[in-house]
Amino acid sequence: MAIRFDGSGRVEIPEWVSTSGNFDIIVEGDFPLGDPADLNGLLGGNDVGGIDWLLISGPARLQIRSDGAYNSNIGSALNDRYIKIELRCRTAEDVTTLSVYFDEVLEVSFTGSGYADYSVNKIGDAWGRMAQDGAIMYRVQLVDLDSVANSRDYQFSETSGVSTADSGAGSQNGTLTGFSDPNAAWVSSGPSITAASNITDETQPATITLANNENAPTAIQINGQGGSNIAFISEDTEAGTETYSYLPPLIADDAEAELSVSVDGDTLTTTISYANSYDREQLTHPATEAEYSTNSLSYPNAYGTSLAYEWKVVADASAAVVVIDWDALEADDGFFKDIAGYATPVANGSTTVTLGVFVPETGEAYQFDRTINVSDGSVVVTGQGLWRELFRDPTEELFTELFR
């Protein structure tokens, strides 16, 4: 879990001061980058001193402040979001180092001196400057190098309420104050799927929205079959989310398909509905050669399966020549039956239909044209699809008929 600040809330803790000025302070979180000051109010102190860090996008500026004194450095443009900040103070060398990491990679660092008297009593509030709305803290560590008993570790592992535990030796718990809804401040610290579009056509890009991810997703699957063409679309810095598009795989229709996303070393899952573009179904095959009409749309093909398959009309016949009742044909399992039983001739002529077949058993998809000739009321199909037969080894040859 983590704390998500709303611009008015903070976490108050019993004041912490290192025993001898040798300490490490580590803050991890997602901080939206925007104008004017991005990392306002991370930590605040009391009378002894305090810590305040400002990070401004564009040319970045980091500032340490203690009792009104500043030390600053111009760094590179900081346009990422997942940030770890480390403040290390060593009195023997009279050196304080402030470092900023993106995804564990050092982005900018500088040193100062004379800052051993830091104190911390607020998280998310420094001198009245509040952590901005949308800032997320995963963990705050206050490490006293000379006193284990004086070290703090706030991991924000709670899921509700106004108290956050210190898992350090001192057990100095913190209290959420000022939040408009304290329970809403608790969010998942790892990546999660906040939205995923249902699939209505495998040829159309779908979208997913992720929260708290450090990197782009590396893989997306639906029912174990991989999608492709993963692409970044947009980022909502206030909500802490990123939206990606991807091209779904072609699989059988499923009212409750499992969507899985690989991101940041985790595999996230959710349930969506899936429908491909093959909107019709053929449930049966002819049992005998006599049942397979040579004037059917599929003759002599079985598409390498003895199971049901899905099909679609890619391009319909010209209504000026013939009208085909596709609904009646599908309801009658008529893909292998005489097309004349489902066709109404309009005028003499020739027209072409383009059909697609998807075989869930094999994952194969086919597209082919069939020519329909109308002459004096007769409707005749010409041409044959170039697909594998049903009752022979499909590796033997491609253009064999179903029955010999």
pLDDT tens sequence across 260-271: 999 988 899 999
Residues 180 and 198 in one domain: no
Q: Is the pLDDT of residue 230 over 50?
A: yes
Tens-digit pLDDT profile for residues 162-215 = 999 999 888 899 999 999 999 999 987 778 898 999 999 999 999 999 987 889
Q: How far apart are CA 312 and CA 325, in angstroms?
A: 13
pLDDT at residue number 400: 40
Which of 187, 206, 226 is where one domain is finished? 187
Same domain, 203 and 306: no
375 with 310, same domain: the answer is yes
CATH number of the domain where residue 237 is located: 2.60.40
Tell which residue, 14, 11, 268, 42, has the closest CA to residue 156.
11
Residue 382: pLDDT band by 50, 70, 90 thresholds? confident
Mean pLDDT in the chain? 82
- For residue 154, being part of any structural domain is answered with yes
Q: How many residues does the chain have?
A: 404
327 SS3 class:
helix
User: The domain spanning residue 110 has which CATH number?
Assistant: 2.60.120.200
Picking from 76-90, 131-145, 161-175, 206-220, which range would have the lowest pLDDT averaged per residue? 76-90
Q: Indicate if 143 and 223 belong to the same structural domain.
A: no
Same domain? For 178 and 111 the reply is yes
Q: What is the mean pLDDT of residues 290-316?
A: 92
Q: Is residue 395 part of a domain?
A: no
76 with 108, same domain: the answer is yes
Indicate whether this model's pTM tops 0.85. no
Predicted pLDDT of residue 287: 87
SS3 72: strand
Token reading at 381: 């199909």
Domain closes at, from 187, 220, 250: 187
pLDDT (0 to 100) of residue 391: 38
Residues 390, 282, 387, 401, CA torsion sign: positive
Report the pLDDT value the prediction gives residue 33, as an integer from 0 to 100: 52
Helix (H, G, I), strand (E, B) or coil at 277: coil
Q: Is 372:343 a contact under the CB 8 Å cutoff? A: yes
Same domain for 200 and 55: no
Q: In this structure, is residue 399 part of a structural domain?
A: no
Cβ neighbours of residue 300 closer than 8 Å, sequence gap 6 or more: 292, 294, 384, 389, 401, 402, 403
More confident residue, 308 or 302: 308
Q: Give residue 58's pLDDT.
A: 37
Query: Could you tell me if residue 401 is inside a domain?
Result: no
Classify burial at 234, counting beta carbons within 10 Å of its beta carbon; exposed 0-12, middle 13-18, buried 19 or more: exposed
pLDDT above 60 (res 250): yes
- 260 shares its domain with 326: no
Cβ contacts of 123 within 8 Å, gap of 6 or more: 3, 10, 11, 12, 13, 42, 43, 44, 137, 140, 154, 174
Mean pLDDT for the stretch of residues 41-55:
51
Q: What is the pLDDT of residue 397?
A: 40
* Residues 179, 136 share a domain: yes
Q: Is 391 contained in some domain?
A: no
Q: Report how far residue 91's alpha carbon sits from residue 20's, in angstroms, rounded to the nearest whole number.
A: 8
CA distance 390 to 106: 62
Q: 390 lies in a domain?
A: no
- Give the total number of structural domains in the chain: 3
Percent of the chain with pLDDT over 90: 51
Q: Is residue 262 in some structural domain?
A: yes
Same domain, 22 and 139: yes
pLDDT value of residue 25: 87
Choosing from 187, 209, 238, the residue where a domain stops is 187
Q: What is the DSSP letter of 394?
A: T
Q: pLDDT confidence of 55, banded at 50, 70, 90? A: very low
Lowest average pLDDT, out of 123-132, 293-302, 326-335, goes to 123-132
Token pair 């449930």 in the structure block, residue: 283
* Residue 90 belongs to some domain of the structure: yes
pLDDT at position 311 is 96
Query: Looking at the structure, do residues 284 and 264 belong to the same domain, yes or no?
Result: no
Asked if residue 373 and residue 238 are part of one domain, the reply reads: no
Query: Domain span at residue 295?
Result: 280-382
CB 102 within 8 A of CB 31: no
